[in-house]
A and B are shown apart, each in its own frame.
Chain A
């Protein structure tokens, strides 16, 4: 898996071609529990000795501030919105994601280009154009989709607190009632995500399940992927006793390539615990 595949033209000026790491992305609409799942997955991987790098959407130091300012001032047109997010993504890709993949890390992306594919199309962009725009992005090895229905989502988000202006798509002027706007906007987003799931062969997991059950599904899929792609096996079984808890030194583990396919083991749900260093 050391060669990356790209959605389009890729980055022709890259000189390195060997990327021994693994790129895992988690998609799903706002409030679906992505971040919780990423945190749990990270801990589980680190316990096994894998080096993990997390990355998100709109957190690049270069452009993140500009996006925040533009959003506050409501100065983003559909086009500038798409392009600015693409620039932000490119910055993170080249500064964080690719270097990590080059060094053999497992990269966990909380949202990936599919977020842009869904959001921009809901905002009226040409679907072909948005896909072309991200032609420089590598195709993830594993793309999870946390799928939810809008009725369940609404109750969950309301229980969490007030509805966020942008999560409700209020900038799209779908109505001045945040509940109605949220429902309409999220319905459109979920419809787009469902289309993407088929187009890009997402690994879909129902987000209506309890978080531990969702996590178990994700781990099964990751383990199966590692096994089938001969990713270096874990230093220790994930369900080993708490006694030898994760040590900081284990973080360098993936450097040691000991190919032994088929050894990966799925962790039973009940052993989920908080152990990693965060």
Chain B
């Protein structure tokens, strides 16, 4: 019933480049994208950084909904889609059209994973997000759940509710809930990686080695882009 064109993202024709990172909390993806940004900026590229759920349009609605615990999986999903669409139109598309490099910490794949875990139909979620352009490259920082857990707990003793997926009532213990919740998220990423939608980086290893792999992929994608004029 579903044809690929209904569920797949379409490649974009903008002069800029869209590079995104995905991975569970504690995978180290944010560290990696920051390092990538430093490198690209040092090469005088025009870089624009954006992250998931930072638009203001529906933030208050989400907050209100959370407080009253009245969001259903579908309204939760659609509010995030609205938020993302707003950010796409106002933040992501203009730099892409202007030939810049857009770095996104999480993209639609985060929604695929989270909404599926919450109970939405995975095909439906993919169809909803079909308005988003396909990234030029999508990195998946893959790390075993317990490694991610140790990394987070090393910096602070208490897990945040959203990291542990506490609203899903998977387990009363936050650590156990984290394992189940993030494990399910990871399953979706693995599936996407199997379908060649994500480039897998082994995120258990050395930070610099991961960054070397990322830069070797990105280098070839951006070399033709115009850099900032040097005024010397």
Contact = CB atoms under 8 A, between A and B. Distances in A.
Contacts of A135: 121, 124, 127
Nearest to B84: A83
Interface in A37-84: 62-63, 65-66, 70, 75, 77, 79-80, 83-84
B74 A83 contact: no
Contacts of A95: 70
B60 A66 contact: yes
A266 interface: no
Interface centre among B57, B120, B123 (most CB of A within 10 A): B57
Nearest to A12: B121
Interface string B60-93: 1100110000111111001101100110111000
A61 to B, nearest CB: 9
Nearest to B123: A9
Nearest to B7: A132
Interface of B is mostly: helix
Contact of A129 (B61, B65, B78, B127): B127
B104 to A, nearest CB: 17
Interface residues of A, number: 29
Interface centre among B71, B81, B90 (most CB of A within 10 A): B81
Contacts of B136: none
A276 interface: no
Contact of B58 (A77, A84, A133, A136): A84
B159 to A, nearest CB: 25
Given A63-B61, A94-B75, A129-B127, A80 B6 contact: no
A132 B78 contact: no
A238 to B, nearest CB: 37
Contacts, number: 88
B124 A91 contact: no
Contact of B85 (A8, A13, A79, A128): A79
Interface in B32-82: 57-58, 60-61, 64-65, 70-75, 78-79, 81-82
Given A62-B61, A84-B82, A132-B6, A79 B131 contact: yes
A129 B131 contact: yes
Given A87-B78, A94-B72, A12 B61 contact: no
B74 A136 contact: yes
Nearest to B132: A79
Interface string A119-136: 000000000110011011
A70 B57 contact: yes
B74 A79 contact: no
Given A84-B82, A132-B128, A12 B119 contact: yes
Contacts of A84: 58, 78, 82
A128 B75 CA distance: 21
Contacts of A9: 121, 123-124
A123 B64 CA distance: 29
B85 A80 contact: yes
A11 interface: yes
Contact of B74 (A75, A80, A90, A128): A90
Nearest to B127: A132
A257 to B, nearest CB: 29
B134 interface: no
Contacts of B82: 80, 83-84, 87
B131 A80 contact: no
Contact of A62 (B65, B73, B121, B131): B65
A128 B127 CA distance: 10
Contacts of B71: 62
Contacts of B118: 13
Contacts of A79: 85-86, 88-89, 131
B215 interface: no
B184 interface: no
B227 interface: no
B171 interface: no
A8 B124 contact: yes
B70 A62 contact: yes
Nearest to A128: B6
Interface string A2-15: 00000011111100
A90 B72 contact: yes
Interface of A: 8-13, 62-63, 65-66, 70, 75, 77, 79-80, 83-84, 86-87, 90-91, 94-95, 128-129, 132-133, 135-136
Closest 5 A-B residue pairs measured CB to CB?
A13-B119, A87-B78, A9-B121, A132-B127, A79-B85
5 contacts: A8-B127, A9-B123, A80-B85, A87-B58, A135-B127
